[in-house]
Amino acid sequence: MSLQSTPRAERLHIGLYGTRNSGKSSLINALTNQHTALVSEVAGTTTDPVYKSMELFGVGPVVFIDTAGYDDEGELGHQRVGKTKEAARRTDIALLLISEEAEIAKARVWHGAFRKSKTPVLLIVSQCDKKDDGGRALAEAVERELGEKPLCVSAETGMGIAAIRRAVLEKLPEDYDAVSLTGDLVQPGDTVLLVMPQDIQAPKGRLILPQVQTMRDLLDRSCVVLSATTDRLDDALVALKEPPKLIITDSQVFKKVYDKKPAQSRLTSFSVLMAHYKGDISFFAESAKDIDKLPKDAHILIAEACTHNPVDGDIGRIQIPAKLRALLGDGITVDVVSGADFPEDLTPYDLVVHCGACMFNRRYVLSRAEQAKAQGVPMTNYGILLARLAGILDRIELPGKS
């Protein structure tokens, strides 16, 4: 990631789906005027989904997800289809390619799945330059079978490529871009104090993404932003003529900051903001409420987005499990997964605790929350859980609640 570029998790994710050789990789190349996706006549050239960040003319920063064909066979093929399904959970808009009539049946299954997850789908009849009628007959069959008019496209001649860009804009989910990090918590002109311990877990020489994004969001909202490490909190408060309207702290020092904060200053944390920005904060708050009522032998799953090397005092692997044991006793079992490793079946767990997920896009975290809900498993995130464990969940600010 270059310093100028939009982080991947913040980009519109456009996924391409279709059978092997339907022309997915070629279409990405045509859409981007580049030859980044691997094109080959040999079916199954694209194996793991490939994420490619670029500026799509007229749309802005996007990530294209190039997937293996969803008709892939054999043991390895099944694994690849599994990865394609995983990619579908991160997809904001799906391009569904059909190059031949025989592919319509498979397309219908995926079309239905995307519909179920409320993912907008753009149907595409591909490789139209190869067809005598420019793809008209196939387009009619697709419309008849799937109930939606497809676009006729050729990666070879460029036919229909501009129409795809326009259709993507039209299909943008309504709430895309609508969720703001600091939500309804600030007004223009508010002074906001950020408490940001730069501890052993902080990367050398830079700030972590939620801190950077919060600062940017507050500046965009015309707030005055002041930051301090935890040991300079008192100095920061003294330096201000009036108490800050809002204090946003690292969740690990929630209680410390709560105890010191002026009564007029409202308090929240970076990962509580992320619970709204990337997740389902109502569900996360509800799930954390009765944590003390979990059984003594509770199974708890901690899910981290990053696959970083754990350090001493790691929040997900050490701190949160220790706090949970302090509350519930040593009989609990805590499993930690990271990256895309998220169990398909969450029912063995009594609680899922997710990190702030700054490396995941919103749709993906929401799809995990939906899964937990559907399986009847409570799910929360680091910030909400730490506030609950500090006994202040009902005394802090939750964005998106007004």
Minimal distance, residue 59 CB to ligand GDP, in Å: 21
Report what 26 binds from ligand GDP, Mg ion, none; CB cut-off 5-8 Å by kind. Answer: ligand GDP
| Touching ligand GDP, residues 121-180 (CB under 6 A) | 126-127, 129-130, 154-156
Q: Does 46 bind Mg ion (CB under 5 A)?
A: yes
Q: Does 251 bind Mg ion (CB under 5 A)?
A: no
Of residues 74 and 188, the one with the C-beta less far from ligand GDP: 74
What single letter denotes the amino acid at residue 158?
A: G
Minimal distance, residue 47 CB to ligand GDP, in Å: 11
Q: Are 397 and 266 in contact (CB under 8 A)?
A: yes
Report what 18 binds from Mg ion, ligand GDP, none; CB cut-off 5-8 Å by kind. Answer: ligand GDP
Binding span for ligand GDP by CB under 6 A among 23-31, 83-91, 111-119, 393-401: 23-31
Of residues 99 and 268, the one with the C-beta less far from ligand GDP: 99
375 φ, ψ (degrees, to nearest 5): -95, 5
Q: Are 153 and 164 in contact (CB under 8 A)?
A: yes
Binding span for Mg ion by CB under 5 A among 16-24, 111-119, 250-258, 297-305: 16-24
Of residues 156 and 370, the one with the C-beta less far from ligand GDP: 156
Minimal distance, residue 46 CB to ligand GDP, in Å: 5
Q: Are 193 and 228 in contact (CB under 8 A)?
A: yes
Of residues 79 and 319, the one with the C-beta less far from ligand GDP: 79
Q: Does 25 bind Mg ion (CB under 5 A)?
A: yes
Of residues 17 and 270, the one with the C-beta less far from ligand GDP: 17
The DSSP string of 176-213 is TTT--SSTTS--TT-EEEEE----TTSPTTS--HHHHH
Of residues 25 and 361, the one with the C-beta less far from Mg ion: 25
Of these, 10, 32, 39, 227, which contacts ligand GDP (CB under 6 A)?
39
Of residues 135 and 356, the one with the C-beta less far from ligand GDP: 135
Minimal distance, residue 389 CB to ligand GDP, in Å: 48
- Residues whose CB is less than 8 angstroms from the CB of residue 232 and which lie 6 or more positions away in sequence, other chains included: none
Spatial separation of the C-alpha atoms in residues 181 and 215, rounded to whole Å? 10
Dihedral sign (CA 360, 362, 363, 366): positive
| Rama region for 11: left / alpha / beta (φ>0; ψ in -120 to 50; rest) | beta
| Touching Mg ion, residues 229-248 (CB under 5 A) | none
Spatial separation of the C-alpha atoms in residues 361 and 356, rounded to whole Å? 11
**Tokens in use for 329?**
């006793």
Of these, 12, 14, 23, 214, which contacts ligand GDP (CB under 6 A)?
23
197 φ, ψ (degrees, to nearest 5): -60, 130
How many other CB atoms are found less than 10 A from the CB of residue 50? Answer: 18
The owner of tokens 């969740």 is 251
Q: How far is CA 23 from CA 28, 45, 66, 114, 242, in A?
A: 9, 11, 10, 20, 61
Give me the helices (H) in 103-253, please: 104-116, 136-146, 161-171, 209-220, 233-239
Binding span for ligand GDP by CB under 6 A among 13-21, 71-79, 254-262, 288-296: 13-21
Residues 66-85: x/- map of binding to ligand GDP (CB under 6 A)?
---x----------------
The residues that touch ligand GDP, with contacts defined as CB under 6 A, are 18, 20-26, 39-41, 45-46, 69, 126-127, 129-130, 154-156
The residues that touch Mg ion, with contacts defined as CB under 5 A, are 24-25, 46
